[in-house]
Amino acid sequence: MGVHKVTGASSILRRLDWKEGLPLLFMHLACLAVFWTGVSRAAVAACVAMYTVRVFALTGGYHRYFSHNAFKTSRAFQFVLALLGAAAAQRGPLWWASHHRHHHRFSDTEDDIHSPTRRGFFWAHLGWLLVPDYSRTRYDLIGDFAKYPELRFLDRHPFVAPAALVLFLYILGEGLAPAGGANGPQFVIWGFFISTVLVYHVTFCINSLMHMVGSRRYATPDTSRNNAVLALLSMGEGWHNNHHRYAVAARQGFFWWEVDLTYYTLRALAAIGVVWDLREPPAKVYEEARAR
C-alpha cells in the first residue's frame, strides 16, 4: 500500500471519509450517558484501573513489543498483551504496529502518515484515522508477528475485545449493585467509554503534541520531543525524543529522573520471568546526551 502525500487543509478535507469516524464519534457521545448513570467511587476506580491496564498494554505491548521487539515473552503473554491492547479499541496489534513501523521509517517526511509538522495538529492527532487508505494492516511490515493466527484474528475482528470488556464491566457493576456501590451501566460508561476516550487522546497526543511541544535532547532527523507531563499520563511514552533516538529500547525514560511507568512494570514482570531480554540503550546514547 502506497502512502498518499497530503498537503494543505483543503486537500486533507477531501481525503477524509467521515464514515471512518463514526465509531470514534459514538465513543465520545456515549460518554454523555454519565449524566444518566451518575458516578460512584467504584465506577471511578474502574475507570482508573481500565485506563492504567490498557495504557500499559498499548505502550508495553502494541508499541514496545509488537512495533519494536524491545523485549521477549511467551506466546501466551504475547496474546494477553494483544488482547488487552485490542480492548482499548485502537484496532488490532498487527494494524497498530505495522503503521507505527512505517511512521519510524519515514518520521516527519512527506511519507509519514501522521506528521504534525507536515500536515498539522488535527491530521496527526485524529485526521489520518479517518482515511480509508490507512484502515488496512501493512502485513509487509509486520511479518514477524503476522504468522500467529490469534493475532490475525484480533486484527480481523477488532470489536471482539472491546465488546468482551463491556460485558465484563457490566457484570462486575451489577455484582456490586446490591451493596449500593455501582451498577452495570455506570461501570460500562466509566470503565469503558470514558476510560477509552481518555486513552485515545493520550495515545493520539504522542503522534501530535510530542512532535510539537517539549524539549529535544537528541538531534534526531525528525521533530520528536520529550515532555514530562505526557510521560506521566502515557506511562513513559512522553520521552519521545529519547525513543526516536533509540527506538528498540524497552525503556524510554533513559535517566533515573525520567519517570517511565511502563518500563518499571516490565522490569517487575522480568523479575518473575514473564518477560525477558529487555533491550537497553547503549552507552553511546548516554554519551551523546552528556556531551550536549
Q: What is the pLDDT of residues 211-251, one digit of tens each?
A: 999 999 999 999 999 999 999 999 999 999 999 999 999 99
Burial class (CB in 10 A: 0-12, 13-18, 19+), 54: buried
Q: Checking phi first, is residue 245 left (phi over 0); if not, alpha (psi -120 to 50) or beta? A: alpha
Q: Is 251 helix (H, G, I), strand (E, B) or coil?
A: coil
On the question of pLDDT at 8 being above 50, the answer is no
Question: What is the reported pLDDT for 19?
Answer: 76
Q: Is the pLDDT of residue 4 over 80?
A: no
Q: Is the dihedral of CA 210, 214, 218, 221 positive or negative?
A: positive
Over the stretch 118-164, which tens digit does the pLDDT of each residue have?
889 988 998 898 888 888 999 999 999 999 999 999 999 999 999 99
Instruction: Record the pTM.
Output: 0.93
For residue 118, the one-letter residue type is R
Q: What per-residue string of b and e applies to 1-40 under the rule 16 or more CB within 10 Å gives b?
A: eeeeebeeeeebeebbeeeeeeeeeebbebbeebeebeeb
